[in-house]
Structure 1
């Protein structure tokens, strides 16, 4: 994502100026795009994520403004030429009205003539490949991850639980348990929310190479202007 997104931004001639990353997490995308923008701002509601982002930016020698905030109501002190909201952040908008609030935040943060880029898993991906499934990942001998995805068909909501078991230096085991409430959002819903928020056009793609959306697309990309 961090390698291909600059090409998409360049295609829309939107590089330069300032970049705002909503749901910036550990700052990976901000650092990757640092050379394309004069000013970088990251927003996340998790203090731990912001701490990791600050450390990563320091190690990379990148100057980043980091702010704690929520996608549903964040309002900064300036608008930006490019606003990104990636890595499924929009899928965390699970309650009624959340999607509209997120769209308004995106529009309020984007300069007139600027660009907002976001992604989200659609409902069909959630229902076919995610809902009700259990995934186990063990990339090293010391870390095991278990992802459980109970699904509520009435709301389209998946309250993903993640259990991470990690071997400690002393030879014991440490367990971390998290819950990630998410839901699928189809292109028509997201496009409608963005247009209602004040964007004048929204392009949708099946990937950062700008291929068309199909009914089996796992992640839909949106470019709003």
Structure 2
């Protein structure tokens, strides 16, 4: 999967994403479990939207992403806003050398981009190593319901003056996986024509109890499972599942 061109379109396409809700979720969890936290590792930080917001709330944030292009956008954004955030290019499944933090987060269903069980297990182990004792690990994933009922065999489209896209989703080869085929049409104002950019993105999720078992095996105490930013238990129709775990 490549983000080389997609990175520069991402913020425009995600302008309505509930970034503030992710930040509020972190703040609510810290209050709920009476945890004092200053340092936070934002894994799969993308273009830094959540990283910057967390930094503006007083956290000492470090951002990690696999995509150099995403990080370039994130760095430029942080600098333009006067926010100091160190960004590093690493794969969260092979994370190393970043020290320890009070909180590690993986938001915006980024964990679902890992293609194998082994990569998820490795990520959980790496997160455990990068947490202070009793530090919190907070992440969200797509539910199996969302994969099967919201994404697969569905077509999404956007038609605006400067950017448009057609987004088709198909079943992946693995259980509870989906392939997103995206075609973007971006206006090149210099010549008055549209450039076409094609992307293929793959996501995979797992049953809730599978994530719970992997967390336990990695040395975490599971504190709560909730859904859709509501701090309530998931239902059959929940789309985004949140996990909060503490390093034992």
**TM-score, normalization by structure 1:** 0.93
1:49 corresponds to 2:70: yes
Match of 1:157 in 2: 177
The answer on whether the counterparts of 1:15 and 1:36 sit within 8 Å (CA) in structure 2 is no
- The Cα RMSD (Å) is 1.7
8 A contact 1:206–1:212 mirrored in 2 = yes
**1:25-56 deviation line (CA, Å, top 9, x unaligned):** 01111110114445210000100011001011
CA contact (8 A) 2:174 2:204 kept: no
Instruction: Give the 5 Å matches for 1:79-90.
Output: 79-90=100-111
Decide which moves more: 33-42 or 52-61: 33-42
Q: What is the Cα deviation at residue 153 of structure 1? A: 6.3
Task: List runs of 5+ in structure 1 lacking aligned partners.
Answer: none
Aligned residues: 224
Task: Name the counterpart of 2:130.
Answer: 109
Residue 192 of structure 1 corresponds to: 213
State yes or no: 1:179 paired with 2:200: yes
Shift of 1:15: 4.8
Q: Distance in 2 between matches of 1:28 and 1:96?
A: 28
SS at match of 2:19: coil
Which segment is superposed worse, 64-73 or 32-41? Answer: 32-41
Question: 2: CA distance between counterparts of 1:187 and 1:65?
Answer: 33
Residue among 46, 53, 60 paired with 1:39:
60
Question: Which residue does 1:2 correspond to in 2?
Answer: 19
Higher mean C-alpha deviation, range 19-28 or range 195-204 = 195-204
Residue in 2 that maps onto 1:223 = 244
Q: How does 1:22-33 map to 2 (within 5 A)?
A: 22-33=43-54
Q: Is the deviation greater in 104-113 or in 29-38?
A: 29-38
Tell me, what secondary structure is at the counterpart of 1:99? Answer: helix
Does the 8 Å contact 1:25/1:49 carry over to 2? yes
Query: 3-state DSSP class of the match of 2:220?
Result: coil
Seen in structure 2, the aligned counterparts of structure 1 residues 83 and 35 have a Cα distance that, compared at 3 Å, is same
TM norm structure 2: 0.84
Q: 1: distance between equivalents of 2:33 and 2:72?
A: 32
1:141 equivalent to 2:161? Answer: yes
Query: Aligned to 1:168, which of 188, 206, 209?
Result: 188
